[in-house]
Amino acid sequence: MSVTRLKVGNVIGERRLVFRDAPGKKLVVTLGKPRRKKGRQDWECPFRVKGPGVARLEFGYGVDALQALTTALEGIRAVLDEIGRPLAWSGVLPDHTGFQRMIPIAAGPEVSARLERLVDRQLSRHVSQLERRHKKALSRAGASTARMRLTRS
């Protein structure tokens, strides 16, 4: 086992990403189990990003295990953004890593609530558009099926 692997500790998740501009090249994101910092009340959650040109071991921190975990996930997204190359979640999302931006709480509850409403509104619009397209496609498919029945009669 490598020294870096030992620093990550107990691995709770791993994701393989591909470089969209070089599909044969892969990058691995490893997430460790949150743990208390030695001699402190705070928590840390280790993560490693390793691939061509990058080998980083970083930590998310928090007052409890869940905050450390969520800051680690945000940290992963930030490290991937710093790489500056297009990445994809191999076999799942052709144009995204699956590490999305979280809504920050540090700016206060009013800002967080406003951002959440904005995201909810945009998502609702998107879902409505998808539903309309789906209904339209179904009605076209139904109309063509009905035409086929008429021509067969």
List pLDDT tens digits, range 115-139.
989 989 998 998 999 898 888 888 8
Q: What is the pLDDT of residue 144?
A: 67
Please give the share of the chain, as a percent, with pLDDT higher than 70: 89
DSSP 34: P
List pLDDT tens digits, range 37-57.
888 899 999 999 999 989 999
Mean pLDDT of the chain: 88
